[in-house]
A and B are shown apart, each in its own frame.
Chain A
Amino acid sequence: EAQVTQNPRYLITVTGKKLTVTCSQNMNHEYMSWYRQDPGLGLRQIYYSMNVEVTDKGDVPEGYKVSRKEKRNFPLILESPSPNQTSLYFCASSSDEKLFFGSGTQLSVL
C-alpha cells in the first residue's frame, strides 16, 4: 500500500532535549516536505527536499533541521526543542502534482 509513514504519532518531551521525527515514503517520490499545523495559523511549510541531498527552507525553518540521505526518508530534527514548537507536524511527499501526507505527529514540548 502506498503511504507516508511518520513516527511517533504522539510525543511529549522537555525543553532542550533533542528529538527526531521520522518520515518514510514507499512511493519513490522525489519531493518531500514538512509542515506544522497550529490553530489560527493553518499549515505552514518548515523544510522541503526536491531530491536526495537537496533540501531548502520553507516558511518557518527556525529551530528545525532536516536531512535527505535516501530518497525514501526525510527526518525532522529538533536539536533543542522549545515550547513554541508544540504543534501538529506533518510529513508529505509527491512525485507530481498530488501531495500525500503522513498521519501526523502531535508534539508537546514542556
Chain B
Amino acid sequence: AQKITQTQPGMFVQEKEAVTLDCTYDTSDPSYGLFWYKQPSSGEMIFLIYQGSYDQQNATEGRYSLNFQKARKSANLVISASQLGDSAMYFCAMRGPYLRWPGYALNFGKGTSLLVTP
C-alpha cells in the first residue's frame, strides 16, 4: 500500500528565513508523482509544486522547491524567504500512474501546520 508520512505536525519559522517541510513516501510502483499543496485557514487547496518520479531535476516554482531524494523516498518542500502569508497547513501527496492507480486518487499525508512569525 502506498503511504505518505509527514512527521512534523507543526513548525515555526521567522519571516524571511527558509524552512523545510518533511515528507517521506512508500510505494512499489516505479512511476508516481509527488505533490505539495497549501491549505490556508480559508480552506482552499492550493497547488504548489509537482515532481514526477522520472524527473531528473528537482522541481522549483518561485520560492518553492522540492528536494527529491528518490533512493531515500523523500520529497521535502523548501520554502525560501518565508512570508507571513505562508502560514498555513501544508500537505504532501502522492499519485500513481494514470489508468493503473485506483481512482487516480491522491494519497495525502496528515499535513504540517506552518506558522511564520514576524
A interface list, Cβ under 8 A from B: 31, 33, 35, 42-43, 45, 48, 50, 56-59, 88, 90, 96-104, 106
Asked whether A97 and B45 contact (CB < 8 A) given A42-B108, A43-B108, A48-B104, the answer is no
Q: Determine if B105 and A45 form an interchain contact, defined as CB atoms under 8 angstroms apart.
A: yes
Interface contact B104-A31, CB-CB below 8 Å: yes
Residues of B within 8 A of A (CB): 33, 35, 37, 43-47, 50, 52, 91, 95, 98-99, 103-106, 108-111
Inter-chain contacts of A103 with B (CB < 8 A): 43-44
* Pair B35/A88 contact, Cβ less than 8 Å: no
Q: Is the CB of B95 within 8 A of A99?
A: yes
Collect the chain A residues with CB atoms within 8 Å of residue B108's CB: 42-43
**Distance of A96 Cα from B52 Cα, bound (Å):** 11
Q: Which one of A33, A88, A97 contacts B43 once the chains associate, using CB atoms below 8 Å?
A: A88
Q: Are B110 and A42 in contact (CB under 8 A)?
A: yes
Residue of B nearest to A97 (CB): B33
Contact across chains for A33 and B103 when beta carbons are under 8 A apart: yes
Q: Which residues of A have CB within 8 Å of B50? A: 97-98
Beyond the given A43-B106, A97-B52, A98-B47, please list 20 additional residue pairs across the A-B interface where CB-CB is below 8 A.
Answer: A33-B103, A33-B105, A42-B108, A42-B110, A45-B103, A45-B106, A48-B104, A50-B104, A57-B103, A58-B103, A59-B103, A59-B105, A97-B98, A99-B47, A101-B44, A101-B45, A103-B43, A104-B43, A104-B44, A106-B43
Asked if A104 and B45 sit within 8 Å, CB to CB, the answer is yes
CB-CB under 8 A for A97 and B44, given A43-B108, A59-B103: no
Q: Kindly provide the distance from the CB of B63 to the nearest chain A CB, expressed in whole angstroms.
A: 19
User: With a CB–CB cut-off of 8 A, which chain B residues contact A96?
Assistant: 98
Closest B residue, CB atoms, query A90: B45
Docked Cα-Cα span, A35 to B99, in Å, equals: 19
Pair B103/A56 contact, Cβ less than 8 Å: yes
Give complex CA distance A100, B48 in Å: 10
